[in-house]
Structure 1
């Protein structure tokens, strides 16, 4: 029982083991409805077990439902028994999911796979989220994975924990309640991402959703030599990761979100975005590698909590700006952009038309020159699409290439990449979307992507790798 001038806090917390997972059931009284009059008692339960607590239908913040029990505190703080009696008076039948009008505005779901050498930054970012916390209009929910090989702070626990993020100012300790604990997760398994997304949506429904996948990223292509199709969320303990097609499967199973963001390196590629085009209205990501700090979560969440009525596009632009604003004064070279997914089918058709025009020109060496000079990123086979098209138009000067190129460039600027920023002069020729353009060897896994199956860019990539004809032989 916590007593204060404007606060009377009551907490019941019990840890329950079930099928190898730990669940926490909690009740909280946490704020006075009006000074000197009433305390508004709200309570939260993780995954509820009504046979454990008769009052398990009182849910706090972003869970499926929220109810209020008003207790008169005119005579001073009420004992715990009074609150429990009030709680027990609530109908014990689980209420239906609330109508859209009563839902919170946003639920931000962050899948923080720190089961690798980024573990320290995972802890840092969750503590960064706690400087803002959830609010009456915004849920911030996290799954944080840890391993035993890297960071040892904050208890040095391993496995993964799911949290509703509460405001807390301690930068070294996660104070938010643990709602679920998973001792041996595989956060590189796309099905585990589905479990998290489903859990978050079921327990924290909202009018709008943002999903952030936090970890190493490598675009569609490979990060480690033993890998085949690459992607995101590398779990060093299980040696598993989520490939680009699997990411699309996971997002489809979770259900559409308003904004999907990769807080990971190299993920804002045409191939990745096209694969997940049906999963979100907007995609936020970086063409280039990210610094270890990744997103700046206080700068991302604080404006959202203060203006929860912002649109999905507003939130996407905020994600880009909060990232660039953080790294600009640090003189770190970065890229971040916002893509409108409804334009991705037209990107495929426009890019294929341009590729066909260049191939029909037979100007192979000129096209290779453009490929070589285009702005590249950490993996040299990832090139900025806009920059490549611009250069190709200048070197392959035919009416067909010019027409298709102008159309593609205008489409990229106007319809697809609706906002992008870079920091560092090195990235002045970046425009928010990269594409696969290797200089030497073709990865046959590229043919497995939806982008390749539906268009002709894979054929174009192969054409650009055509070796030059042998020098003519001269008779003696």
Structure 2
């Protein structure tokens, strides 16, 4: 199941991705079902239709035109309403029942951040101005039923905050810490592998998606990363992060936290126009931040314990949480994306002139509303890190 909200400037990319799917097509053992949305004004390709179409993807050799049968067409639709995604998933399950399900949510993405500005959670509908908020991602599957794999063909979604919202409704979560290039997932590559081996395990399938992504972006020489994580291990991640954060606060070594804040690999949460050196970005890698903190500690009676907790956090991510990860090239400021552990989180920005009040003032909802913060009190730790000037 692929929910493609192309009612924005990604419309052409959506057409391209569906044509990729048609290189493989559905089979007796695998159905590929798509809801695709479009609006007027972006491209007149493929008949310039608008609204949304639900299709069962059939194999063809025409890479310029979508030929799969349209099973449902809606002229007016809000694809930024999470209930539309709920309806699509329910409809897909009712019409194409299967032993296992993968849901891919396709669109722009901005991680956990649901700000009042133009950049918002996921599935932005430019026609209605609506979008799917972070907590609503979990609500989709709570109402429509669980899936085996939940994947985000969207930027910045492999975050602890997002994972906590969906962990009870999927076995595996696939997403990127960094932005996803405009070409998106290489659907023909991983669907082709799935078609050849439809009985592969759920974790094996997720690993194929990640590896295909890496191979594709290696070939086109674009910086990108993707990881697959076990949803059942997300709560354990929160436990490790909470233990690390509480002890780091107790020790109070702001210089070590400053070194980690300034050194951790960042992801492009803000954009090159406003953040050319990625010093305003407030998304960073979890494991690397913990390690850099531990490596920079001054002498303290509990320094050894914090180093142990940081190492345990990194090992948990590497051995328990992450099934497979792949990275191609560098981010736009030259950091090697292979530094990424597979999961990111809110980390105060390097640019200390951006106050916490100013940054968090753009959020639509308080950070404390997220399930992740309720479990970990990470916001209290982030507030403490803001004190490292």
- Correspondent of 2:343 among 433, 447, 456: 433
- Match of 2:31, SS state, is strand
| Aligned-residue CA RMSD (Å) | 1.3
User: Does residue 1:281 correspond to 2:191, yes or no?
Assistant: no
**How far apart are residue 428 of structure 1 and its match?**
2.8
- Correspondent of 1:261 among 151, 162, 165: 151
- Correspondent of 1:231 among 109, 121, 128: 121
**How far apart are residue 466 of structure 1 and its match?**
2.0
Provide TM-score, normalisation by structure 1. 0.74
Alignment match, 1:221: 113
- Indicate the structure whose relative CO is greater, using CA pairs within 8 Å and at least 6 residues apart: 2
Larger fraction in helix: 2
2: CA distance, partners of 1:392 / 1:167: 51
**How far apart are residue 226 of structure 1 and its match?**
5.4
Correspondence 1:54-203 to 2 at 5 A: 109-203=1-95
Distance 1:196 1:332, change over 3 A: same
User: Does residue 1:365 correspond to 2:255, yes or no?
Assistant: yes
Distance 1:226 1:309, change over 3 A: closer
- Match of 2:190, SS state, is helix
Alignment match, 1:382: 283
- Greater Rg by CA: 1
**How far apart are residue 430 of structure 1 and its match?**
1.0
- The runs of 5 or more residues in structure 1 that have no matched partner are 1-108, 469-476
Larger fraction in strand: 1
Alignment match, 1:463: 384
Alignment match, 2:188: 298
1: CA distance, partners of 2:174 / 2:319: 17
2: CA distance, partners of 1:428 / 1:133: 33
Q: Deviations over 1:398-455 (max 9, x none)?
A: 1121121111111011100121110014213111111100224332621110001121
Q: Contact 1:263 / 1:285 at 8 angstroms: preserved in 2?
A: yes
Q: Contact 2:110 / 2:156 at 8 angstroms: preserved in 1?
A: yes
Q: Contact 1:361 / 1:396 at 8 angstroms: preserved in 2?
A: no
User: How many residues are aligned here?
Assistant: 358
Q: Deviations over 1:135-186 (max 9, x none)?
A: 0100000000001020110110100000000111111111111000011110
- Correspondent of 1:406 among 307, 311, 320: 311
- Match of 1:201, SS state, is helix
Correspondence 1:348-359 to 2 at 5 A: 348-359=238-249
2: CA distance, partners of 1:178 / 1:329: 33
- The runs of 5 or more residues in structure 2 that have no matched partner are 270-280, 331-335
User: Does residue 1:417 correspond to 2:322, yes or no?
Assistant: yes
- Match of 2:342, SS state, is coil
Q: Contact 2:161 / 2:345 at 8 angstroms: preserved in 1?
A: yes
Q: Contact 1:368 / 1:464 at 8 angstroms: preserved in 2?
A: yes
2: CA distance, partners of 1:145 / 1:441: 38
2: CA distance, partners of 1:240 / 1:381: 24
User: Does residue 1:307 correspond to 2:197, yes or no?
Assistant: yes
Distance 1:467 1:327, change over 3 A: closer
Provide TM-score, normalisation by structure 2. 0.90
Alignment match, 1:20: none
**How far apart are residue 224 of structure 1 and its match?**
6.2
Q: Deviations over 1:175-212 (max 9, x none)?
A: 11100001111000000000000000000000000000
